[in-house]
Amino acid sequence: MGGHLCCLSSFLRVSLLFFFFAFYFVSCRVGLAEGSYGGSNAGTKSKRKAVPVRHQLSPDFYSTTCPQVEQLVASVTARRFSDLPAAGAATIRLFFHDCFVEGCDASILIAPSSGGGGGGKAAVERDVEENKSLAAEAFETIEMAKAAVESKCPGVVTCADILAIAARDFVHLAGGPDYAVKKGRKDSRVSLPHKVKANLPRPNSTVDDLIRLFVSKGLTTQDLVVLSGAHTIGFSHCDQFVSRLYDYRGTAGPDPAIDPRLLKALRMSCPRSGGNADVVAPFDVQTPFSFDHMYYSNLEAKMGLLATDQALFLDSRTRPLVQELGKDKAEFFAAFAAGMDKMGSIRVKKGRTGEIRKICSKHLGAS
């Protein structure tokens, strides 16, 4: 796959762009308090759906069957974070994309079979356009963690639980909160590509769209603001925000809610067309590798990367919490840990409704 060279060159591009941002903005920010989405839910009528069922999970689920599961996963995540820091944010994003589509069941991890979907259609969730930007490093990390766990506890721990543990590990490794991960999820027996588009936010989603989507998952407006704080680390490709720079909502001009300095810097890296598809920009132009609460201060300074991020400060329903979390890192950390626990409980599979895969990219029994 040429994986290490590819990852190294991508990381160098990320690092160079980050240092450009840091050089460009640091003098301007003195005195200021301190994945990514996929197309549009806007304009579609929301259908009232039942709130997802939440099954009882437990931090001690494997206490007798695989008591060392967290240490085994941690041995992989620590090494990956040291070698490939970008794998951290990528894995957190992978967890989000898994949970929001039919629940936290590792359905996003299933790889397409050699036969594909036929007729050019996506065969599994990760084939869908909205998921094609999910980083290979995240999938590889979960497979590595699963192999480590299988070597000590064969056929016991699910990929869904390993993904939840790994996401928590990366949050903490990047400087964020360390919280208990409840376990007991089964892996899904299916991966449903047609369920993806309607269940993920889009670059041009409105706050109304986002609130409706989160409510449909049993989450609140507060959870929306808090979990969006995961964008305190990580990067986004230009195609996720380029319309903000040149033709915001069909105006033939930039988004007025973007700081002119940020606009200039982003335009230098992301031309209107014909740019390098591998170029990425940090969600947090201040501390993209540190899990902190700077994301919210950036929104107050009109330096949110995605329109959906910046909209959280512009909307009167979400602005107060953005301002509150921007002032109090401890409050953000506590709220984020609680939000991840809630999200991690969405429509989990239990008992015979799921399986325990041996390889996360293959259903049990698949060749």
Q: Which residues are annotated as a binding site?
A: 98, 101, 103, 105, 107, 125, 201, 231-232, 284, 287, 292
Q: Which residues of 164-190 are buried (b: 16+ CB within 10 A; e: fewer)?
A: bbbbbbbbbbbebbebebbbbbbbbbe
Is-contact 319 313, C-beta < 8 A? yes
Q: How far apart are CA 58 and CA 258, in angstroms?
A: 43
Which of 92, 59, 58 lies closest to 169 in space, CA to CA? 92
- Number of other CB atoms surrounding residue 331 within 10 Å: 14
Q: Is 363 left (phi over 0), alpha (psi -120 to 50) or beta?
A: beta
Q: Which residues are annotated as a binding site for Ca(2+)?
A: 98, 101, 103, 105, 107, 125, 232, 284, 287, 292
* DSSP sequence for 198-227: GGS--TT--HHHHHHHHHHTT--HHHHHHH
Q: Which residues are known catalytic residues?
A: 97
Q: Distances from the Cα of 90 to the Cαs of 35, 123, 183, in angstroms?
A: 7, 22, 21
- Number of other CB atoms surrounding residue 335 within 10 Å: 21
CA 150 to chain centre: 26
Q: Which residues are annotated as a binding site for heme b?
A: 231
Q: Which residues are annotated as a binding site for substrate?
A: 201
Q: How far apart are CA 235 and CA 186, in angstroms?
A: 30
* DSSP sequence for 271-328: -SSS--TT-EEESSSS-TTS-SSHHHHHHHTT--SSHHHHHHHHSTTTHHHHHHHHH-
